[in-house]
Amino acid sequence: MTNFVGGRFLETGRTFTKTSPVDGSVVGQVHEADATTVDEAVRAARAALDGPWGRSSVPERAALLRRIATRVEERFDDLVRAESADTGKPLHLARTLDVARAAANFRAFADTVAAHGMDSFLTELPDGRRALNYAYDKPLGVVAVIVPWNLPLLLLTWKVAPALACGNAVVVKPSEETPSSAALLAEIMAEAGVPDGVFNVVHGFGPGSAGEFLTTHPGIDGVTFTGESATGSAIMRAVAPRVRPVSFELGGKNAALVFADADLERTVDGLARSVFTNTGQVCLCTERVYVQRPVYDEVAAALAKRAAELRPGRPEDPDTTFGPLISTGHREKVRSYYDLAVREGARVLTGGGVPDLGEDLAGGAWIEPTLWTGLTNTDRVVREEIFGPAAALIPFDDEDEAVRLANDTEYGLAAAVWTSDLERAHRVAQRMRVGLSWVNTWFLRELRAPFGGAGLSGIGREGGTHSLHFYRQPTNVCVQL
């Protein structure tokens, strides 16, 4: 896999190996971008802004985004295979979530920017002067787009689509763990007619590599990033001397609140998805489950049963419902929390280790879905983000206690409230200190709604016109009449 700069695929003198999290086999060799390559990408993006792309109209950009969406659909199976090869996730998940959302993202932001208007005012001053004030949009400029490995194509297009809709040029750095779909998207961009330099891809790592070269480059006008909170802090330090804007969607330690009056079958279905989807590697996954005491044992037993029914296996096997973690390195991190939970006094309800899947899959990053009881909010495994298929189940007695426990965190991304009491549902959902509260569901997304977090979970909002706020610079014109 090569870098994509100014409409050309570029090799570099240094490569690294991307391996499969399923069995450790080699997926491909990736050309790591050096400082010169990153500089060329930024310069290519700037040149595109100085050319016809910088003068493109909203209808032209909306039409281009729709062409990209169509081409994504035409290359659908290629993208599914690339996404699954990198992440190890089951093909059906890559098909129904990642690639489907990629096409939807381009269409959604084509519609959003086409319908977006700006302010205008007729000004009349006491001295009799009159003026017309109207605002128009300028692009932010050259935007660094840094995306994680858990939903690489989905989150990449979630940022690139609004950036292009607003007339920016982008330099994308995908995770070193998941370079394939970004490389393939570069081909799709060229096939759809995206002008040279508007979309660029540089591969590599963080410190001392493409990530650092990109975020410290003086030609970058803003950075949008999804990933770990600690990395977000590092990016803020990198851009602070040049006072560049940032848009961050960071980590989460999300809570689910289960009240005794909830539809328990529906609730357990939802919890099984929110704890174990993508092997728990979604920023929106649930890691803290607070259950009202009268139904605590029932919910714990039912959720443990659902965990035991998950079927790990190769992505192409239609019976596979549970994939590996992204890497053996990440598995060691997750396992360290499994060990810590036991030291902190947890009772392991299910899981807690590494499954034996036979010699064929022994080289993969497999781990067991895990549930704990016996923990409290003071324990580290309840306070720190694990980013794996694990959750602590903790009882509560009344609504105020549930809200207090759920809000007792430095994160603030999402919460889920499970109850059949409509008044309670609205009341509790609005008391959550998060950017997104679900009621009797999970991961149901409206692409026009604001999305983002508070505290360690991020800065800014994405989705619909909220994304446009970051990627554009409203400029006012005042004309005296």
Catalytic residue selected from 176, 177, 249, 368: 249
384 is catalytic: no
SS (H, E, C) the chain: CCEEECCEEECCCCEEEEECCCCCCEEEEEECCCHHHHHHHHHHHHHHHHCHHHHCCHHHHHHHHHHHHHHHHHCHHHHHHHHHHHHCCCHHHHHHHHHHHHHHHHHHHHHHHHHCCCCEEEEECCCCCEEEEEEEEEECCEEEEECCCCCHHHHHHHHHHHHHHCCCEEEEECCCCCCHHHHHHHHHHHHHCCCCCCEEECCCCCCCCHHHHHHCCCCCCEEEEECCHHHHHHHHHHHHHHCCCEEEECCCCEEEEECCCCCHHHHHHHHHHHHHHHHHCCCCCEEEEEEEHHHHHHHHHHHHHHHHHCCECCCCCCCCCECCCCCHHHHHHHHHHHHHHHHCCCEEEECCCCCCCCHHHCCCCCCCCEEEECCCCCCHHHHCCCCCCEEEEEEECCHHHHHHHHHCCCEECEEEEECCCHHHHHHHHHHCCCCEEEECCCCCCCCCCCECCEECCEECCECHHHHHHHHEEEEEEEEEC
Rounded to whole angstroms, the Cα distance separating 222 from 459 reads 13
Catalytic residue selected from 32, 83, 212, 283: 283
283 is catalytic: yes
| Bridge partner list, 254 | 286
Rounded to whole angstroms, the Cα distance separating 320 from 22 reads 12
Rounded to whole angstroms, the Cα distance separating 342 from 142 reads 48
Task: Give which of 436, 339, 336, 349 is closest to 393, Cα–Cα.
Answer: 349
What angle, 0 to 180 degrees and rounded to 10, lies between the N-to-C axes of helices 58-74 and 152-165? 160
Please give the structure tokens belonging to residue 149: 């490995």
Task: Give which of 299, 223, 239 is closest to 266, Cα–Cα.
Answer: 299
Residues that are catalytic: 249, 283
